[in-house]
Amino acid sequence: MAAELVRGQNHPLTETRLEIRVSAGHPVVAGATLADDRGAVHGTARVAHPGAPSLPGLEVPRQAAADHRIAVDLDAMPQDVHRVTVLLALPPGTGGPTRFGAVAAPFLAVTGLDGTEQASYTITDLDTESAVVALELYRRAGAWKVRAIGQGYADGLAALLADQGLTDAPALAGAVHDAVARGLARAVAPPPRSSDETQVRQTAAAGAAPGGLPPTTQPPSSTPSSGGPIDYSHPGRQAPPPPPAPAPAQPDRPATPVAGDATGWSMEERLYNQVWGMFEDMARSTAAYRSAVDFADSRMEQELDQVLSDPRSRIGGQADAAREAARAKHEALVDRAREALDRDLAQLAAEADVVEPALPAPYARWDNPCWHAYRSPMEMPMAVRLGDLRLPEGDAAGIGIPMLVRLPLERGLWIDSGAAAGDTLTDADELRSRAAHTAVLHAARLLAAYPAGEFSVHVVDPAGTAAGALAPLVDAGVLAGPVARGAAGVSETLARLTERVDLVQMAVRAGAADALPPDLDIAEQLLIVHDFPHGFDDRAVTRLRYLADEGPRVGVHLMLVADRADAAEYGPLLDPLWRALLRLTPVPDDHLADPWVGHAWTYEPPAVPHGSAVLPQVLAEVARARTDLRRERDL
């Protein structure tokens, strides 16, 4: 059954050899990009446009036209291609409309080679935009889906291509427009439909090129104006037999999830990519559902307004019938959107069930059995888990996406110990205690992620209020030194780490790493500052800001446990510091937004199961590995 998509909604594809039909009511340029699993387009060689219309598994028209047909063979795509993004743009300098708001809403349909429609999408709400990302075909868990995008760009094709990650976007946009202007892409009408169209498509499929696309090096034997079938076969080449038809996928039976079913050189990298693919799918599916509900609400309001605008129909049976009809349409739209969301959530829940147990220790929750067999690693992992991310729509299915952050850390962490953390039922003292405990769990995970001797932790606790929470780190002997107390301890620790940053920066700039002092600890450093700004004077605050800005580049990272309200006396001086740090909370709080659709995700901090001894066991292993390393160096 064909699906009428709304912005953000996705739909499974049952075939891999497809056509994408575009109808815009006015000549437009059609193109496409091929991206990897992270959405990166690797250069202009992965962009199909009228000046360079053919790529493996993809062919776009050579012409600007009101109607287009883009040929796609997903099986012929390179293995590293995970997204096919369809782009539309208005050609400049033709005297025609310069914005999509002045033309009919573009319509796209994804069909099989026999013309059977699988999904369609009408791009609405465009105004000043002259280029638009229409839709994308993307690979997920071994299967392909189509997603409606509808992202417009008022600054034109160059801005769109730049947003795709192409550094030479202006030059490429100019080349596309030059191809149109030179007549390489003439605006022509599409070939007329005929009753023999199915036979034509079968003929084209039989004579397909190695990439799965109809060969275009030879003119067709009959012109489009003749109205007859077009023979796409090469006159000097015998057409090979058609490949066996793949078994059609069943939308009601999605692909069985498999842990590590993503691209990557190692299982760790594949799991990392799979987790963030789950994050993106959750964001997109929820956005589609919310967009559909908003559309249903808006449509019902419009229909009710029409009933009330006519005094003759405000009362009586006619008005009641109109209201019931509007509500019935609203419920039907919402139910259909919920059905699609439930289908996606069920697939995500099934994927989470197989992925979570397979995660290695740096990615795993503290209740994962892999921690009981933990041994100090030989090399640093790609990322570390700092908690979980949830959306309200996934709560019923219990879907939480691991929050993985790449290593080494590019930003410091701010553990919010104030009431702004979002839990009004917890008093201030309890929040501070939880914040300190959360900081210890993050520090323990970072210590466990690095090989022995390659990560050092320093702690500043001026008032000594975190002694209880810091006990696991102190008792295990994994800190670089005693916990610094008072203003003198703050000053001494900051001065030592600031000096380290300066020395390493100078060595890097001079290309003289061997000139560093032999007693300098070149391991990655983490400074935990508890109860900031207690014990800090103006000079100490300046040094802290310096460490936050310059430290990560040379291996010095900051973890601040603080209530921003306590530092209000510094005013805007600390604003750059807050912006430089990643805010985390000791209680669940919906303060994190994703970069795709801006959802407010609920961050759930890590937690050790009640009564579990996994934390001291892991820290004991970290300490043992360090002791063994020192013995080896002393021999």
Answer with the one of 172, 188, 208 that is the final residue of a domain.
208
- Residue 182 is assigned to a structural domain of this protein: yes
pLDDT over 70 at 387, yes or no? yes
Rounded-to-integer distance, Cα 180 and Cα 191, Å: 20
Number of domains into which the chain is organized? 3
Question: Which residues span the domain enclosing 99?
Answer: 3-208
pLDDT over 90 at 196, yes or no? no
pLDDT tens-digit series, residues 78-126: 989 999 999 999 988 766 788 998 888 899 999 988 778 899 999 988 8
Secondary structure class of 536 (helix, strand, coil):
coil
Q: What is the pLDDT of residue 182?
A: 66
- Residue 120 is assigned to a structural domain of this protein: yes
Rama region for 439: left / alpha / beta (φ>0; ψ in -120 to 50; rest): alpha
Same domain, 170 and 314: no
Same domain, 30 and 155: yes
Same domain, 39 and 179: yes
pLDDT over 50 at 238, yes or no? no
Whichever domain contains 188, its CATH number is 2.60.60.30
Same domain, 421 and 290: no
pLDDT top residue among 213 and 331:
331
pTM for the whole structure: 0.64
Q: For the ranges 41-45, 558-562, 620-624, which has the lowest average pLDDT?
A: 41-45
Same domain, 338 and 421: no
Same domain, 102 and 36: yes
pLDDT tier at 596 (50, 70, 90 boundaries)?
low
Q: What is the pLDDT of residue 51?
A: 86
Q: What is the pLDDT of residue 355?
A: 94
pLDDT top residue among 526 and 511:
526
CA distances from 211 to 32, 57, 110, 435 (A): 16, 5, 19, 56
- Residue 238 is assigned to a structural domain of this protein: no
Q: For the ranges 457-466, 587-596, 619-628, which has the lowest average pLDDT?
A: 587-596
Q: For the ranges 2-6, 77-81, 158-162, which has the lowest average pLDDT?
A: 2-6
Secondary structure class of 227 (helix, strand, coil):
coil
pLDDT over 60 at 222, yes or no? no
Other CB atoms within a 10 A radius of the CB of residue 596 amount to: 13
- Residue 229 is assigned to a structural domain of this protein: no
pLDDT tens-digit series, residues 293-309: 988 898 888 888 877 77
Q: What is the pLDDT of residue 303?
A: 82
Same domain, 307 and 417: no
Q: What is the pLDDT of residue 261?
A: 82
Same domain, 529 and 458: yes
Rounded-to-integer distance, Cα 298 and Cα 141, Å: 35
Q: What are phi and psi of 328, to 5 degrees?
A: -65, -40
Q: What is the pLDDT of residue 167?
A: 84
Q: What is the pLDDT of residue 622?
A: 96
Task: Work out the average pLDDT over 321-349.
Answer: 90
Rounded-to-integer distance, Cα 497 and Cα 314, Å: 75
- Residue 202 is assigned to a structural domain of this protein: yes
- Residue 377 is assigned to a structural domain of this protein: no
What is the chain's mean pLDDT, rounded?
83
pLDDT over 50 at 170, yes or no? yes
Q: What is the pLDDT of residue 233?
A: 41
pLDDT tier at 183 (50, 70, 90 boundaries)?
low
- Residue 378 is assigned to a structural domain of this protein: no
pLDDT over 50 at 345, yes or no? yes
Same domain, 174 and 39: yes
Same domain, 354 and 413: no
Answer with the one of 208, 223, 244 that is the final residue of a domain.
208
Answer with the one of 336, 358, 380 that is the final residue of a domain.
358
Same domain, 197 and 308: no
Whichever domain contains 517, its CATH number is 3.40.50
Q: What is the pLDDT of residue 185?
A: 38
Q: What angle do CA 564, 565, 571 make, to 5 degrees?
A: 85
pLDDT over 50 at 192, yes or no? no
- Residue 371 is assigned to a structural domain of this protein: no
pLDDT tens-digit series, residues 421-468: 445 556 788 899 999 999 999 999 999 999 998 999 999 999 999 999
Same domain, 295 and 412: no
